[in-house]
A and B are shown apart, each in its own frame.
Chain A
Amino acid sequence: MTTILGVPSAVLYGQLLLGLINGAFYAMLSLGLAVIFGMMNIVNFAHGAQYMIGAMGAWLLLNYLGVGYWWALILAPLIVGAISIVIEVLLLRRLYKLDHLYGMLLTFGLALMVQGAFSNWFGSSGQPYTIPQALMGGRNLGFMFLPNYRAWVIVTSVVICLGTWYVIERTKLGAYLRAATENPMLVQAFGIRVPRMITLTYGAGVALAALAGVLAAPVYQVSPLMGADLLIVVFAVVVIGGMGSIMGAIVTGFLVGIVEGLTKAFYPEASTTVVFVVMAVVLLIRPAGLFGSKLEAAQGQPQSGLSATAPSMRTQTLIFLALACCLAAAPLVVYPGFMMKAMIFALFACAFNLVAGYGRLVSFGHSMFLGSAGYVCGHAAKIWGLSPELAILAGTATAAMLGLVTGWLAIRRSGIYFAMVTLAFAQMVYFVALQARFTGGEDGLQAVPRGMLFGLIDLSQPANLYGFVLVIFLGGFFLIMRLVGSPFGRVLKAISDHDVRAQSLGFETNRYKLVAFVLSAALAGLAGSTKAIVSQLASLTDVHWSMSGEVLLMTFLGGVGTLYGPLVGAFIVVAMQNYLAAFGQWVTVIHGLIFVLCVLAFRRGIVGELIELWHRLRRTPPAASAALREVVVAPQE
């Protein structure tokens, strides 16, 4: 048997083939994302869910209606495309003038709803889908055995990708599309109905995802979450390739698949993380991406009067003291376990809000700080036998270091790219946690000892533990309050308003953003470490992307960019989890629904709306903070 660099050639070719297959799906999905983004400036977070519906649709058609593979290949994309057209007309259309992140949040909510609903109906385990009769079997190529279906997938996807490229780059229709991207007004003036073109583009991009789903059904297991993890890799592909070019998306998709396949052959341990490493390297060397030309779209013009003026120092101190008293007295009426959990999540959400609200750097990967700190703290307390304060310190420091490295890379991009980069890094941390020995894999780190605080206070006593969590929460919250009101906080806010202007005044804006990001990571790590001590557990749920989604939810629901919003949001979400636990996966659907409602109806969040109301009642000029920048998207020169 021949070997290549120590790897049997059959294994190598097999992995290359698998890589090529994965690459085919990356290419088709990132192509759809690029087409949609180019036309509507929306990062379609529902893309993975729509891919999943394609696959699930094929499975449903077969098992419930007896409709076979070939018809599914046509029907599923048509149906999914049609549904997405309705979504575009009813929902997405309202967002085009707002910050691009709103589109990402709304489609994220939609994805949660769809994935949650499918999980409820069909369970989250995978279903097999048999290869159609005509494509069974395979042929021996001499150096390897090539299953017919796999060959079909690769050929089909290449044809589809090149076909899409041809339509966009070489036909008259494509010329209109490209022109409408550059200058919608002008194209409109030529009598082309741009809104309808946008709608159809979205439908087509989504249909492409559904088609990929049908193609994938016989290759992978069909399951409600099959698109979620895939999408994160596709985001990394998008960051690597740059979203500017259609061909770039295709080539990068296949390349990444091949790189993954090769890694699996030569160094299997790294095969799940290699994409993210490549992404980090690309960010270092070519921040705009391999095929990207310009860094970011034009900065939007901030709308008038949208920022919170902080209440006076006296008022602030009073509110803070009242809050402290309420929280201290709460265990008399509320279950202390709930209170502690809520306070920990509130600290997490406030930490997140420090960058998302005041720095307008919306991270989709904050779970990595919560989770990794929890693991390190748990490990330090359990295996090294450190006292709780030192274990927490270790966890917090780890999160800060992680924040330094990921932040240093991520702040090279802003807006939606920042969101995608942080999400991708968090996924990398997740995979490391899944595979590393010291994290306990699927089981997590259990029975973390609570220990004696400073060798004096026994944290296994409920009252002591409660006091301990209370002090940590109040301390963290107080720190954030001071940061926001400090000169540094002012600079941070100015940077988020108008980065270039801040630079022209002599502020090295990236340094401020990085420091804010590291502080936020450290505080999130403080929350994660405390969580490990309190729950005596560090597990994969805390590093999973859905945790990043939860902290986004808490913050946006409560009011991003307001001091108390994340706190309120965290209490509501934790309460929901507690009282709606019986509904299982439906909670995810509710989360998704809240996202959608927040984006569509009350972008200021609960606290933001209350502040607004207060100002309206007192007839003072409205100064409540609006979630993100509500931009009138500036014309691109």
Chain B
Amino acid sequence: MTDGAVYALETRDLSREFGGFFAVNGVNFRLARNSMHAVIGPNGAGKTTLFNLLTKFLPPSAGMILHDGQDVTRLSMPAMAKRSVVRSFQISAVFAGLTVRENIELALLREHGLAWNLLGRIAHHRRVLERADALLERFGLTDYAGTMAGSLSYGRKRVLELATTLALEPSVLLLDEPMAGLGHEDIGRVTQLIREAGKGRTVLLVEHNMNVVAELADTITVMVRGEVLAQGSYAEVSSRADVMAAYTGQAHE
């Protein structure tokens, strides 16, 4: 912490190698508390890999990760979630064999200390049911409460995943391409939901949709070939020639 500030998440010379290829290469990245921060970059830039490293889905090849100033490089994925750093996945991840309601309740179980309850019934815990109801309502899923999550439309799955993630009330929320595969209307709605969710917490999102990024993010990091190319506000970043080059270069490949 050279400048004395404590970041929600911080990486120091973070690298991840896949058989000689560096998907993330010496990244020094800082996520300020309570910011809405977007990571952009062409396909294969290493954005998902960075997410995977931050959430411990992958172990880093080198470097260090700090959460609230503490070294968390060696923690496990559940341990990160318990520190209130929770992510969503690029390919939507719901529990297909559970109903929508059960999906949301699941996220609530751990917080309510019920996950290790071997003989009881969820139906007996009013508090969980009420919170689940509220979340269903807030995300417009009430009508689908009894539907198997696996048979939802893609857009609803994304919304459900967001609802499940937010049920944990994470202090740091990492969203990997929340708009991927969504239709026009859904994008508006999910953008709204993310903006609301961002109040009082730190959000890091990877997104290809520039309108969404411009609308939501206060800080933007541009990744190219595993490295951070630029960082700043939307106006700063979008006016830089090298950023444009990275994108157009990609487009003409």
A residues adjacent to B (C-beta < 8 A)? 301-307, 309, 313, 479, 482-483, 485-488, 490-491, 493-494, 496-498, 500-509, 512, 621, 623, 625
Contact = CB atoms under 8 A, between A and B. Distances in A.
B188 interface: no
Nearest to A485: B121
A445 B118 CA distance: 36
Grouping DSSP codes into helix (H, G, I), strand (E, B) and loop, the A interface class, with mixed when no group exceeds half, is: helix
B109 A498 contact: no
Interface in B97-127: 97-99, 102-103, 105-107, 109-110, 114-123
18 contacts: A301-B96, A302-B150, A303-B96, A303-B150, A307-B98, A482-B119, A486-B118, A486-B121, A490-B98, A493-B95, A498-B96, A504-B55, A504-B78, A504-B89, A505-B164, A506-B78, A507-B115, A512-B115
B117 A501 contact: no
B96 A505 contact: no
Most-contacted residue by chain B among A306, A494, A504, A623 (CB, 10 A)? A504
A619 to B, nearest CB: 15
A621 B149 CA distance: 13
Nearest to B48: A637
A507 B96 contact: no
B168 A505 contact: yes
B76 A500 contact: no
Interface residues of B, number: 42
B115 A307 contact: no
Interface stretch (B9-17, B79-87, B131-139): B79-87
B237 interface: no
Contact of A486 (B82, B96, B117): B117
A504 B87 contact: yes
A498 B94 contact: yes
A491 B115 contact: yes
Contact of A505 (B57, B81, B116): B81
B180 interface: no
B151 interface: yes
A504 B121 contact: no
A512 B106 CA distance: 14
B97 A490 contact: no
A304 B151 contact: yes
B239 to A, nearest CB: 34
B93 interface: yes
Nearest to B19: A293
Given A501-B95, A621-B147, 20 more contacts: A302-B96, A302-B97, A304-B148, A304-B151, A305-B96, A306-B97, A482-B118, A482-B119, A486-B119, A488-B117, A490-B98, A490-B105, A490-B106, A494-B95, A498-B93, A502-B95, A504-B81, A504-B87, A505-B86, A508-B76
Contacts of A306: 96-97, 148, 150
Nearest to B150: A304
A309 to B, nearest CB: 7
Given A307-B97, A503-B78, A483 B106 contact: no
A353 to B, nearest CB: 15
B110 to A, nearest CB: 5
A483 B78 contact: no
B93 A500 contact: yes
B32 interface: no
Contacts of A305: 96, 148, 150-151
A304 B89 contact: no
Contacts of B57: 500, 504
Contacts of A496: 97
Most buried by A among B123, B150, B164: B150
Nearest to B106: A494
Closest 7 CB pairs of A and B: A307-B97, A506-B81, A304-B150, A302-B96, A304-B151, A501-B93, A305-B148
Contacts of A485: 121
A482 B121 CA distance: 8
B148 A307 contact: yes
B77 interface: yes
Q: Chain A CB within 10 Å — which of B94, B102, B106 has the most?
A: B106
Interface string B49-75: 000000101000000000000000000
A494 B148 CA distance: 12
Given A504-B86, A505-B107, A506-B82, A309 B115 contact: no
Contacts of A506: 78, 81-82, 86, 110, 168
Contact of B98 (A482, A493, A503): A493
Given A313-B123, A490-B106, A497 B96 contact: yes
B51 to A, nearest CB: 10
A493 B86 contact: no
A511 to B, nearest CB: 9
Interface in B161-201: 164-165, 168
